[in-house]
Structure 1
Amino acid sequence: MVKFSIGLSNAIPAALNKGKIYISKSSPQCVLDAYSVQFQNNFSMFLRSRAAEMVAGGRMVLSFMGRSSIDPTTEESCYHWELLAQALMSMVTEGLIEEEKLDSFNAPYYGPCPEELKMEIQKEGSFIIDRLDHFEIDWDGGVEELTSTMSLPLARGQRVAKTIRAVVESMFELHFGRGIMDLLFTRYAQIVDGYLSKNSANYINLVISIIKKH
């Protein structure tokens, strides 16, 4: 699984993406552009670095969380971040988090579409694309998980919240403080559970096989 760190603290002024922590339908074009450009820079550097390590004809298989649409604001790309922002905003409303803290946080994540991957690989020039596929994965993994105490299935929102928390908690702690983590992800689980009761939701996983040119 390939994961890129995206440094956006200086690229996106806080007020321009107010109340959000990632790309959303309400984000201005400059926010979308900042994420896209940072991804291009990071992925191009990644390709150059791997090309220097590989022999001609060598193969590399990469797996990405991404999207199938060219539109970066589609729900398949970013809606789990939208719901997490809702949980944070509820805590801002109650005075548990400073609004400036929320507005100054931009998630260091970008889910590319197949066209973006192809474009950067072709632009960098060290590899040819052998195969590119995408797969849909349920937000909650599609498998019930039992609670440790009562042997009852966890609610779908709880399963999603546990997964997301495992990935993002360390950077959220650093920015918002450790004391709010339990409450934040409890609220997030409730919001996700409500959303999944009315909607189906899938992540898009991109898998690409590329070969080092001779």
Structure 2
Amino acid sequence: MRAVIPYKKAGAKSRLSPVLSLEEREEFVELMLNQVIDSLKDAGIEKIDVLSPSVYGLEDMTKARVLLDEDDLNEALNRYLAGSEEPVLIVMADLPLLSPAHIKGITSTEKDVCIVPGKGGGTNALFINNPSSYRVKYYGSSFLTHCSIATDTGQNFEIYDSFLAGTDIDEPEDLVELLIHGKGPAREYISRKFRLEVSRGRVGLVPL
């Protein structure tokens, strides 16, 4: 089994720009990436690849193999899948709430494919037992698309339904979930910049 993490540090997480500067966002995504790698390792996955269009931010990476591919995300991942002879777990780099237990649950599926939906119709993780016969199509409602791809290629699939595994950090309100439910370096970084405050029955962020 291999795990592959698509990653781009340069200009990362523009939707967090209302609350974090470019430098802060780039520091934050690097922390999240390393936390995902640590969770994969703690789950027993030893073969981990980081797939990136640039070496920026990965110059000193020792915990995973770095693969450079400047093509579109889908083209790069599909080329990766086509060349794999063992099951592949694709996991996004912005999942600091993803735990080793989640990873073990996802990869222990008895189905051909296990799909982890994210917010807004995205796909946070995708475990593929037969990667040479499957092609990904991210962006838009990729969760529904990946379900259809499995069906169209004659592969049965399982949906791994988890609030924590399904929480990717894209918007300022996602940082609230990180502060409430998270732990580790990514949460510590955000906790040094914001605190939680309840207003009108909802929990929000307040800068420190």
Tell me: higher relative CO, structure 1 or 2? Use CA pairs within 8 A at least 6 residues apart: 1
Q: TM-score, normalised by structure 2?
A: 0.30
Considering only CA atoms, is the larger Rg found in Structure 1 or Structure 2?
1
Q: TM-score, normalised by structure 1?
A: 0.29
Structure whose residues are more often strand by fraction: 2
